Amino acid sequence: MGKPDPSKKTMLVETACGECQLGLHGKSCDLAIRINGKAYFVDGAHIDSFGDAHAKDGFCEAVRTAEVQGQITGNRFKATYFKLMPSGSKK
């Protein structure tokens, strides 16, 4: 989603379904990231924008790596840039 802002730092983070993989409580499968061991639901990027969440390498089945920009507001990550890295990439 979008392009990174060159004036802001990008982070490599773990990303997956918050409920299925990252231990968050919610009502359905939703995109989340983990920063410094803490998981946050993501606003600004949707779980279904990156393919089938229930595929072998989908967010409900695997923890992936993403390059992101944004900020934590409350208990949510407000993404301004979100790029899913190829399967097998490590943070």
> pTM of this prediction?
0.90
Rounded Cα distance, 54 and 41, in Å? 18
What is the share, in percent, of the chain residues with pLDDT greater than 70?
96
Mean pLDDT of the chain: 93
In this model, does residue 90 exceed pLDDT 70? no
In this model, does residue 2 exceed pLDDT 90? no
Q: Which of 12, 11, 18 is nearest to 59 (CA)?
A: 18
Q: What is the mean pLDDT of residues 22-41?
A: 96
Q: What is the mean pLDDT of residues 31-40?
A: 97
Count CB-CB contacts under 10 A for residue 8: 12
pLDDT confidence of 58, banded at 50, 70, 90? very high
CB distance 30 to 45 below 8 Å: no
Which residues partner with 34 through β-bridges?
Answer: 14, 39
